Amino acid sequence: MPKWFTPAVVICGLMFAVAPILIAEAPYESTMGLVQKIFYVHLPSAWMFLLAAITCGVASVRYLFGGNPRHDRIAWSAAELAVLFGAITLVTGPLWARKAWGTWWQWDVRLTSSLMGWMVAVAYLLLRKYGGPGSDKLAAGLALFGMANVPFVYISVNYWRTIHPTTNVVPTLPTSFGVPLWFSAVTFLLLFVLLLRMRIRLEEQRTRLDALYLAMDEHR
Amino acid sequence: MTFLRTFLVVLLLIPAAFDLPARAQQPPPQQQDEFIPIEKLPPQDQLPAAPLLVAAYSFVALALFAYVVSVARRLGSVQQELNRLESELKRSGRT
């Protein structure tokens, strides 16, 4: 692991300890009250989900056109994080919606496209696990669809009628809501980087292991 | 032509004829003449926010913890396998 990894883990741990205090001290939103505090984990995890889908897509493009296995390892690792953060987004969202909207789920464009993006990431992982030889290239192609879906997820709320808040909410947040949100977002970003590095390390070690097995077979 | 017209009119009237008694049975909408505090609602109509909030934060904590443990375990087993193979190769003088 690189030298920065351990200090970053400590910083991330401290930030995760401080974040609940900031969230608890944030004021209640006028119409939603206590349940609005789900926002401070829902939105950062949604951002990390989109970031993971973009990372997976960019690495897949570079792998498809450059053929460097390192990019494939990054794409595979990012796809796993897209599934993790996507699952968090898709679970915390309905828990918030049940109280705020009176329903768990709406088949509107933001929610449906997010679910679709998550399913693409799940499909990527299934393809890598059970696809056999050649699945790396096929999965890289699939990752492009996941990445193409990201701008659609983001801007959909501004163009289609939906009960999901628009993208104008965050830039107009008062400081009392903004500070815990941005602190939480930076914490999630740091966690994302750490998890990605850890997951890439796992793929690197697996590659080394495969190379060792090959070397042993050649010597027999 | 007249037959066809009559047929279409009857066809359109049939659902309306079935719908009329159903509409007649519905009570007229009532105007709200008082505010009721949420505590006075029956328990099934009250939806407290705290369990939803706790469920959301618990899920986040559990999901992140489970993922970190999963990656650490996979990394640990691969590392163990690597060490075993490397020492085996060293012992047989193939390094």
DSSP line for A11-63: HHHHHHHHHHHHHHHSPPBTTTBGGGGGHHHHHHHHHHHHHHHHHHHHHHHHH
How high is the ipTM of this complex? 0.92
> Is A178 within 8 Å of A43 (Cβ atoms)?
no
pLDDT band at B77 (very low <50, low <70, confident <90, very high): very high
> Which residues 6+ apart lie within 8 Å of A189 measured at CB?
A44, A47, A48, A51
A106 closest CA partner among A181, A163, A184, A42: A163
Contact B85 A216 (CB under 8 A): yes
B44: its two tokens: 């099934």
A210 closest CA partner among B75, B85, B27: B85
> Using CB atoms and an 8 Å cut-off, which of residues 41-60 of chain B contact chain A?
47, 49-50, 52-53, 55-57, 59-60
Contact A98 B49 (CB under 8 A): no
> Is A144 within 8 Å of A57 (Cβ atoms)?
yes
Percent of chain A with pLDDT over 90: 73
The rounded mean pLDDT for chain A is 92
Predicted TM-score (pTM) of this structure:
0.82
List beta partners, residue A29. A33
pLDDT band at A32 (very low <50, low <70, confident <90, very high): confident
Task: Pick the range with the lowest mean pLDDT from A38-47, A68-77, B17-26, B68-77.
Answer: B17-26
Mutate which: A37, A38, A77, A204, vs B, most B CBs within 10 A: A38
A86 closest CA partner among A28, A135, A44, A39: A44
B90 at A interface, C-beta within 8 A: no
- pLDDT tens track for A114-130: 999 999 999 999 999 99
Q: How many CB pairs under 8 A join A and B?
A: 78
> Is A196 within 8 Å of A81 (Cβ atoms)?
yes
Q: How far apart are the first and last CA of chain B?
A: 96
B73 to chain A nearest CA, in Å?
Answer: 10
Rounded Cα gap, residues A217 and A204, in angstroms: 20
Q: C-alpha distances in angstroms, A168 versus A46, A99, B1, B69?
A: 16, 22, 59, 37
Report pLDDT for A171. 87
- The b-or-e profile of A46-58 (16+ CB within 10 A means b, else e) is bbbbbbbbbbbbb
B45 to chain A nearest CA, in Å?
Answer: 11
A73 at B interface, C-beta within 8 A: no
pLDDT band at A216 (very low <50, low <70, confident <90, very high): confident
Report pLDDT for B27. 58
- pLDDT tens track for B25-66: 555 555 666 666 666 665 545 678 889 999 999 999 999 999
> Which residues 6+ apart lie within 8 Å of A78 measured at CB?
A52, A53, A55, A56, A59, A196
Compute the average pLDDT of residues A76-97: 96
Rounded Cα gap, residues A82 and A77, in angstroms: 9
Contact B53 A34 (CB under 8 A): yes
